[in-house]
Structure 1
């Protein structure tokens, strides 16, 4: 790109980054995870979630080293490019792109489902498209405005989850939570282990996309200081909210009625306070903030990933154009939105194995995330060996044990997901082959942006 081109605005604070880290993920507390109950039961899914929480915590305490050492809009793509060259950058960039482009349509559909509770005549898909239009526009008009809005709605979403726990607490019973707690069996058995592994993508949904805050590092003031604080505070916030939400929702009645729907929290609250309660209506309305926080934040994340890949020659260079007034990658915002809107209307293509559209989109997004986690941890180990002199303002805690735990659990998660979702994995690989061909056509297999540019 020419030096005369505008650059990304460097205006975000640590508080903005914490809001982005939590906001990117917080919709995972509102929907999506309850499909894990259908696969594993409440007790089985509790075990799955503990394992995934350990994976994410160890990952964040390791990933932050890369984020602070290489503050770049490409995030994982930039780390893999530097560690493994253009092919490594392609793998990480493609995986991250799938994660961030496929997550928003699932969240948009959940927004539509929540609105449909209040307005039964409203088509959830049209509401989802409307959400795309509104929040793409907000992301285009400026990163500071977008991040401040993200922080505001994230705080409201956290408050709403705490209110949910408080309101349903009087109706909570561990006997309800544990009843039929092992999928397909009255008690723990060898068969229950399969359910625990099958539920992995839905436990990942509790934490999916927290790493997206790394893509804002290039737009953050003093990233070497603010990123570690934001990430550590963010993962601790999310672990608390994930377990609190899941346990309280599962203990208010028959959890099986919540296991295959997009609005488990309003339905759980309905069992305690009744259908006409003001608490329920408040949850539906304010609960939208949780979905909006993630939806809005992930749009920011996918746009920076598309921007970085366009700038490096992995995607058409036009996608790296920055708006001269707003200094945001506006074409990247629109391109990712076009793919997401197409996914919303692709029921016949995305409904696989009898699962709902949302569940399959979640699984596709999680495949991208897991592969990106594996490549990122491999990049951490490679750069420690290849570039010991690289400035690392934050060094991974417990190296090499903690990063190895994150890497090992991610490999186990990937193996389990391939076994239980083989057809979706084949589609994921087919998309990768097509993307690889596009890259070869664009750049002859050599990225324009050398690893040194990171």
Structure 2
């Protein structure tokens, strides 16, 4: 086995754990910022639209994942469809998505721990999380995936417990109070709020596509990946709506709209500050954040690895450790994330906290990658009709077209409401592509049979 060849060890359950685990922190924090701009009712509308986009996207994306089971995921599909430039755009967008999400999650881990230990600096806890879970990812993918599965199952159980505990305190009138962008009526401000909240609804589902980056490490990927993805999106849609609706009706939802720990604070409104349920939520609730944090480290490392292996980044990032894991790629993303953590509190963009800004930048990367993936699906259907496809997108071309149109709508509205962050995202894309061009000039594109059209 070569020093850049990953080892297939993962089954369906592991892949479900990765797919759900990558995302499940989005049910614990981040989404409630959407209430701040759209209100509960407006954000509910936003979430319905985004859930429809993700459902159509995953059923379409699975066709690409099974046809081209490659660690580069969207980078590989776009290169196969549109050549090196397409691969570069998708690859850098995916790197931005997966590199800016972990600092946000690590800060939420710190906020949750701060509830239990008020003297603990959240930034110290966030850095500690990076060091622990980068180490776990370096030790081996099978160990990492098993850990991911365990914490994901615990996180799902904890969200179900949260819903069960707060349900008796739910009031529809509280949920609906000033539910249209802080008003009781649906008007132009409410419509603007619905669109402005798109990044935070996407946060409910962001990174589910990251399981594609474990495709080279999956056993029988053409069979296991569709099962994992379909079960994963159904799990996440159910949890997202359950958590959001119940949390919004147990107290004053406005007090939860700009904080990193909305679930413990919502539970306080029902059970008080000293309840055993609350302490359990804080401790076990950490598993949801840990599952996403740990899983996204796996995701960003495989994207760094795939780009480096193909020659778009320095080849040293594609080296494997003695555990057959891309240790240098894991550390590269960690350096960026830790730098972002220590910028928290020093930087505000468009009036947002750094956490909200990093979420938005991550979502920009995701939406560009979704567009490239759906365009790749259409292109490959025409250009390579004989490409083996063990799973075909149902309802083609309508289902992928819905995903494409909704993703484009998301991108346009995000640019409209976040012009400064859009400019920063374009700058990051340009910088990343310039680095790719520099690396290519030095070493050239390396052959990769999975990426070349037949």
Q: Of 251, 255, 258, which residue of structure 2 is paired with 1:257?
A: 255
| Cα deviations by residue, 1:111-165 (Å, 9 ceiling, x for unpaired) | 0000000000000001000000000000000000000000000000000000000
- Is the alpha carbon distance of 1:392 and 1:350 closer, same or farther for their aligned partners in structure 2, counting shifts above 3 Å? farther
Q: Does 1:289 align with 2:287?
A: yes
Q: What's the counterpart of residue 353 of structure 1?
A: 350
Q: What's the counterpart of residue 222 of structure 2?
A: 224
| Cα deviations by residue, 1:356-399 (Å, 9 ceiling, x for unpaired) | 11100100000000000000000000000000010000000100
Q: What's the counterpart of residue 443 of structure 1?
A: 440
Contact 2:310 2:448 in 1 (8 A): no
The structure 1 segments of at least 4 consecutive aligned residues displaced by more than 6 Å after TM superposition are none
Partners of 1:15 and 1:347 lie apart in 2 by 36
Contact 1:82 1:452 in 2 (8 A): no
Partners of 2:368 and 2:346 lie apart in 1 by 23
Q: Of 78, 83, 93, which residue of structure 2 is paired with 1:85?
A: 83
Partners of 2:205 and 2:347 lie apart in 1 by 23
Q: What's the counterpart of residue 313 of structure 1?
A: 311
| Cα deviations by residue, 1:24-61 (Å, 9 ceiling, x for unpaired) | 00000000000000010000000000000000000000
Contact 1:303 1:329 in 2 (8 A): yes
State the 1:184 CA deviation. Answer: 3.7
Contact 2:62 2:229 in 1 (8 A): yes
Partners of 2:244 and 2:43 lie apart in 1 by 10
State the 1:347 CA deviation. Answer: 3.2
Q: What's the counterpart of residue 172 of structure 1?
A: 170
- 1:40-439 matched pairs, under 5 angstroms: 40-323=38-321, 325-347=322-344, 350-439=347-436
Contact 1:86 1:445 in 2 (8 A): no
State the 1:431 CA deviation. Answer: 1.3
Contact 1:42 1:177 in 2 (8 A): yes
Partners of 1:10 and 1:247 lie apart in 2 by 40
Contact 1:72 1:218 in 2 (8 A): yes
Contact 1:439 1:445 in 2 (8 A): no
Contact 2:96 2:361 in 1 (8 A): yes
Contact 2:59 2:394 in 1 (8 A): yes
- Is the alpha carbon distance of 1:233 and 1:4 closer, same or farther for their aligned partners in structure 2, counting shifts above 3 Å? closer
| Cα deviations by residue, 1:308-352 (Å, 9 ceiling, x for unpaired) | 0000111111000011x2000000000000000011112367420
Aligned pairs, number = 451
- Is the alpha carbon distance of 1:259 and 1:4 closer, same or farther for their aligned partners in structure 2, counting shifts above 3 Å? closer
State the 1:451 CA deviation. Answer: 6.3
| Cα deviations by residue, 1:39-85 (Å, 9 ceiling, x for unpaired) | 10000000000000000000000000000000000000000000000
Contact 1:29 1:241 in 2 (8 A): yes
Contact 1:24 1:293 in 2 (8 A): yes
Contact 1:350 1:360 in 2 (8 A): no
State the 1:7 CA deviation. Answer: 2.2
Partners of 1:70 and 1:349 lie apart in 2 by 43
Contact 1:16 1:147 in 2 (8 A): yes
Residue 120 of structure 2 aligns to a residue in which SS? Answer: coil
Contact 1:35 1:359 in 2 (8 A): yes
Partners of 2:71 and 2:4 lie apart in 1 by 15
Unpaired runs of 5+ residues, structure 1, are: none
